[in-house]
Amino acid sequence: MQTTFLPKLYNWIDPIFWLYFPKNCPACGRPLRLFGANICGRCSQNLPETHFFEAPGNPIEKIFYGRLTIGAGAAAWYFHKNSALQALLFQLKYKSNKEVGLFIGKQMGSLLAASERFASIDGLVPVPLHAQALSKRGFNQAALICEGISQVWHKPVYTEAIVRNKRTNTQTKQSRAERWDNMENAFTIKDPASITGKHILLIDDVITTGATIEACGKTLLTVEGARVSVAAAAYPLK
Ligand SMILES: [Zn+2]
């Protein structure tokens, strides 16, 4: 009798616990009123969507003109200073708030699932972190976003396909040539069989100069029959 009673008890306890100890919205800090919510309604509505998933020739694609051959490119939201999105990305990257990563991924998954331009994607590859950075942070934020995407848009994630060899520094104040010197040979294919002949969607949290994606994408394109498209959560407005 207890075994049937216990799950019911937990179903009751969770919302009651929530009532007394509500979580705060990771973007604005206000208490979340909706049980199980990741972000408050106001912040969720205020995320400035780019609509790039539907727009060929968008600014993300232009970043890679003449640098990396991509099928399609997009970022989900514009990134402003002091915005809800900046707060979310800060929570994800520096406060290890994994729920935020999954939330961002799920939102991107809905956008991708609705976009015909990304319909031929076979699977996702998160831009890898260097092993040292990974052990310091404990997780790869791009991999977490991929996990969220695949929960909504059911595509496999090839986390082991490519590795990062060196810690790189892609400062915006560097020239493009300097950044490229820095990034050359930064990545190595580890499991070519998993992505041979596949159309890969390369995922990162933010695309700024594009140097990391360019280097990672070029390495992926060395695999026989591989094609690359690109998507990120945020596109910073300059
Ligand atoms: Zn909020």
Where are the domains positioned within the chain?
A: 1-42, 47-236
CA of 30 relative to ligand 1 center, distance in Å: 6
Burial of 18 (0-12, 13-18, 19+ CB in 10 A): middle
Write out the residues surrounding ion ligand 1, Cβ under 5 A.
Answer: 25, 27-28, 40, 43
Q: How high is the pLDDT of residue 185?
A: 84
Q: How high is the pLDDT of residue 101?
A: 94
What is the maximum alpha-carbon separation in the chain?
A: 70
* Measured distance CA(21)–CA(31) in Å, rounded: 9
Q: HSE of 87 in the Cβ direction (CA atoms, 13 Å)?
A: 16
* Measured distance CA(120)–CA(132) in Å, rounded: 34
Q: How high is the pLDDT of residue 45?
A: 86
Q: How high is the pLDDT of residue 2?
A: 46
Q: Residue 23 in 3-state DSSP? A: coil
CA of 200 relative to ligand 1 center, distance in Å: 33
CA of 25 relative to ligand 1 center, distance in Å: 5
* Measured distance CA(173)–CA(126) in Å, rounded: 25
User: Sign of the CA dihedral 94, 96, 98, 100?
Assistant: negative
CA of 24 relative to ligand 1 center, distance in Å: 8
The phi and psi torsions of 163 (rounded to 5 degrees) equal -125, 160
DSSP 8-class letter at 203:
E
* Measured distance CA(101)–CA(92) in Å, rounded: 6
- Position 33, amino acid: R
Q: What angle do CA 204, 209, 211 make, to 5 degrees?
A: 70
The answer to whether the CB of 157 falls within 8 A of the CB of 124 is yes
Q: How many CB atoms lie within 10 A of CB 28?
A: 13
Q: What is the CATH number of domain 47-236?
A: 3.40.50.2020
Q: How high is the pLDDT of residue 1?
A: 44
Residue numbers in the chain where pLDDT is lower than 50: 1-3
Q: How high is the pLDDT of residue 152?
A: 97
The answer to whether the CB of 154 falls within 8 A of the CB of 121 is no
Q: Residue 79 in 3-state DSSP? A: strand
Q: Which string of b and e fits 106-116 if b means at least 16 CB within 10 Å?
A: bbbbebbeebe
CA of 1 relative to ligand 1 center, distance in Å: 42
